[in-house]
Structure 1
Amino acid sequence: MRILIRTSKWAIWARRLGSLALPMTIIPILLHREQLVSSSDFAVIEAVAAAIAALAVLLALGAFARLWMTGDRGWGRAVSGLLFGLICLAPFGWFGYQALHYPMVNEVTTDIAVPLALTSDAQVAPTSAAMRDKIAETFPNARTRSYPVDATEMFAIVENLVDARGWDVRVRRAPPTALDTGTINAIAMSLIGWRDEVAIRVAGTAQGSTIDMRSVPLVRFHDFGENGRRIEEFLLALDEKITLTLRDAPQAPAPTDTEAPPAPATEEDEAE
């Protein structure tokens, strides 16, 4: 008599759901980056994908227990469902960690007193004093910078750093003179397609220039630290660039006396 070995339905459904969750997680990211789906629709699709992936993981774990006890087939299907589900859930776990690690803010700026103007219609709620202290503690390098470089030269350096990051520049106003102010407004995109507006101000001073930045999420309720990290990274890169620029700048030669010093008087000259 032949013994019938069945294939676990739990394992079958674990792989099916895992195979469904994988494209539901990846394809919307590509569409979101190309702005083919709105951010609100993207969030809903990813939430559904996460629920399906979690169910695939639970079914896979249940399948392992049943396969161990019954001896049915389906280990490969259960492993596939588990791996697919974990791959889909990994980004959600990472963003969950970021949400706990970083404060829930709707902007990060180096100048609270005179906020930089935005070109988008992003709604920015006032930041409380307690939250400003939390932002300052979390992002200690997000501070106004002052450099002994005039505003026109500084604006060109800032402009190059912005272009190197591939930000979508919407406004670019160079300072007319070394004592004027220039601004750049650009849209920066995160890896999964979230967009933020970045504003940069270069203000000329008698000693050189000052740099301020503001980064605001366009639609998210939580930026997962993206805006604060962006400002810190940009300003630290600017620090390094200015350090190299000042180091490599040609030094003015020391003044020299072109006239030969008078020859000392001799005894014959004194006698005359």
Structure 2
Amino acid sequence: MDDSNQESAASTAGSTPKSAAGKPALIKRDPFGLLVLILGAGAGLWGLFSAVGTGWGFWDYVSGLTGVKYAFFLAIFTLVIAIAVFFWRRRKGMRNRMPRLIIGALSAAIFAGYIGYWLMVGSSLPAIHDISTDLADPPQFTALKVRADNWDAIPGADDSDMTGLSPRQRWALLHQKGYADIRSVRVNVPVADVIAAADRLAEDRGWDIVAADQARGRLEATATVSAFRFKDDIVLRVRPAAGGQGSIIDMRSVSRVGQSDLGVNAERVRSFLSDLSGTTTATTR
């Protein structure tokens, strides 16, 4: 091998390997991107694990919600770090790809956005968990029991506008302001047929039906909600309308735990009564 060939070989051996596009093949380390990826993915997994663990009975719902809260804070913290790192890199002229940073930030943003949405929903609704179409005479449970602390934490005790009102009166006032559309429904169908249809609809929705009495016009069931597997108890009361023409339907849905239900019970009542009414002539009373 002549001297020129030896010099060419040495030059080739000492050079940095390049890809077909002419860019260095050496993968640069990205510690900040890795940190954001771990924190972003970890926040979502932490929140999910807290919820699922509650549903499986590994800990109580308070501990589960606490875990979700701190996972939310972690997601926000991760987004702050991701934004700071992104602008720091741009300032330093480091315009290379940042897949770890982007994936981690996106994971944190999705989780934080989801929890943030429900926080906004909760702040816009009254902090109550007992929803009824009849505030003066709510349907009563017979096979199931209302939680012992049902009236213990009704908001408004320190509100000057509610001075002198009992917890149940405050509940009725908050309920009327927040869910004025939740009312009794009248349908042109006999009581027994309404209960039979309600039984089928509840079964289709996966509720645990505890009692269905066509003669008495009653149905009681329990619905399981979200990854937390929260239990909400439901009672349907159907009575003959005045003059015996059709039926008056009242429904009540109560969460077993928690102060605010984030509107879940109200949405259940709306949806169920809408489906139950079906194509029959229905009017709100």
TM-score of the superposed pair, with normalisation by structure 1: 0.75
Q: Contact (CA 8 Å) 1:32, 1:38: kept in 2 or not? A: yes
* Cα separation, 2, equivalents of 1:190 and 1:140: 24
Q: Contact (CA 8 Å) 1:102, 1:138: kept in 2 or not? A: yes
* Cα separation, 1, equivalents of 2:273 and 2:234: 13
What is the Cα deviation at residue 61 of structure 1?
A: 0.9
| Partner of residue 47, structure 1 | 69
Find 2:252's aligned residue among 214, 237, 243.
214
> Kindly tell me: are residues 90 and 215 of structure 1, through their superposed partners in 2, closer, same or farther at Cα, counting changes over 3 Å?
same
* Cα separation, 2, equivalents of 1:95 and 1:18: 19
> Kindly tell me: are residues 117 and 147 of structure 1, through their superposed partners in 2, closer, same or farther at Cα, counting changes over 3 Å?
same
The question of 1:23 aligning with 2:61 is answered no
The question of 1:240 aligning with 2:263 is answered no
The question of 1:224 aligning with 2:265 is answered no
Find 1:69's aligned residue among 88, 91, 102.
91
The question of 1:175 aligning with 2:214 is answered yes
What is the Cα deviation at residue 106 of structure 1?
A: 2.4
The question of 1:10 aligning with 2:32 is answered yes
The alignment's C-alpha RMSD in Å is 2.8
* Cα separation, 2, equivalents of 1:188 and 1:12: 41
Higher Cα Rg, which structure: 1
* Cα separation, 1, equivalents of 2:114 and 2:57: 20
What residue identity is the alignment partner of 2:213?
A: A
189-198 vs 131-140, which moves further: 131-140
| Partner of residue 130, structure 2 | 107
The question of 1:149 aligning with 2:186 is answered no
* Cα separation, 2, equivalents of 1:120 and 1:87: 38
* Cα separation, 2, equivalents of 1:26 and 1:129: 37
Q: Contact (CA 8 Å) 2:199, 2:212: kept in 1 or not? A: no
What residue identity is the alignment partner of 1:160?
A: R
> Kindly tell me: are residues 68 and 165 of structure 1, through their superposed partners in 2, closer, same or farther at Cα, counting changes over 3 Å?
same
Q: Contact (CA 8 Å) 1:7, 1:74: kept in 2 or not? A: no
* Cα separation, 2, equivalents of 1:223 and 1:76: 38
145-154 vs 70-79, which moves further: 70-79
What is the Cα deviation at residue 223 of structure 1?
A: 0.9
Q: Contact (CA 8 Å) 1:139, 1:232: kept in 2 or not? A: no
* Cα separation, 2, equivalents of 1:137 and 1:182: 29
Q: Contact (CA 8 Å) 1:67, 1:75: kept in 2 or not? A: no
TM-score of the superposed pair, with normalisation by structure 2: 0.72
* Cα separation, 1, equivalents of 2:35 and 2:254: 42
| Partner of residue 195, structure 1 | 231
* Cα separation, 1, equivalents of 2:238 and 2:146: 23
Q: Contact (CA 8 Å) 2:50, 2:65: kept in 1 or not? A: no
What residue identity is the alignment partner of 1:124?
A: N
* Cα separation, 2, equivalents of 1:16 and 1:64: 16
What is the Cα deviation at residue 133 of structure 1?
A: 4.3
| Partner of residue 116, structure 1 | 139
Identical counterparts, % of pairs: 22
> Kindly tell me: are residues 99 and 80 of structure 1, through their superposed partners in 2, closer, same or farther at Cα, counting changes over 3 Å?
same
Secondary structure of the 2:250 match is: strand
